[in-house]
A and B are shown apart, each in its own frame.
Chain A
Amino acid sequence: AQKVTQAQTEISVVEKEDVTLDCVYETRDTTYYLFWYKQPPSGELVFLIRRNSFDEQNEISGRYSWNFQKSTSSFNFTITASQVVDSAVYFCALSEGLIYNQGGKLIFGQGTELSVKP
């Protein structure tokens, strides 16, 4: 079965702290994509990253970094030197390959609400 688990429901940190958001997934497919989205209080989803199952290289984009480990089926997201503007709900999502998912639909995790306090 396809499933995405974000075990951390809420995280609260103080500004400038580093924080890691965990994401564990289950899939029946060898080809799949993983995503992270940010949802600020306004509600609009902001795309952060997409990763395919054949690319395990870690990625860094400014203060954001992602660690993809197929061996543990995890795709964790780290924010370094967090800022108040990082406060939002973050969703991890999975899209299986076209053999099982010609429609390309996304399966979302439960989301992690990050609160960064000044």
Chain B
Amino acid sequence: GAVVSQHPSRVICKSGTSVKIECRSLDFQATTMFWYRQFPKQSLMLMATSNEGSKATYEQGVEKDKFLINHASLTLSTLTVTSAHPEDSSFYICSARVRQFSYEQYFGPGTRLTVT
């Protein structure tokens, strides 16, 4: 089956620094990737939809200048948390859609971000 990887799996950073998380589709090309955030004991909340070669579409309430998304190729999307604060500590999960107009999505293993 389709495999999606995320790097790093865990990261601890100091408040005020920026952190980049990578999401890669390993054996398929993903025209669309999604970024979710999950706080402890809560559900997954969609942050943004990322289409290759175009600007990401952010969900209401998500600051696009704080969560920078780049989808430069069909196999890689990156999420950069800029000027991170402790309240940004969360579990970030990406998913990739196999092809346009498909309902099949494959999830990455997630990245646990802790901001101290």
Contact = CB atoms under 8 A, between A and B. Distances in A.
Interface string A68-112: 000000000000000000000001000100100011111111110
Interface residues of A, number: 23
Chain B: interface residue count, which band? 20 to 34
Contact of B43 (A42, A50, A109): A109
Q: Is the interface of A mostly helix, strand, loop or mixed?
A: loop
Contact of B102 (A43, A47, A104, A108): A104
A44 interface: yes
A106 B46 contact: yes
A70 to B, nearest CB: 18
A45 B107 contact: yes
Interface of B: 32, 34, 41-46, 49, 57, 91, 93, 95, 97, 101-110, 112
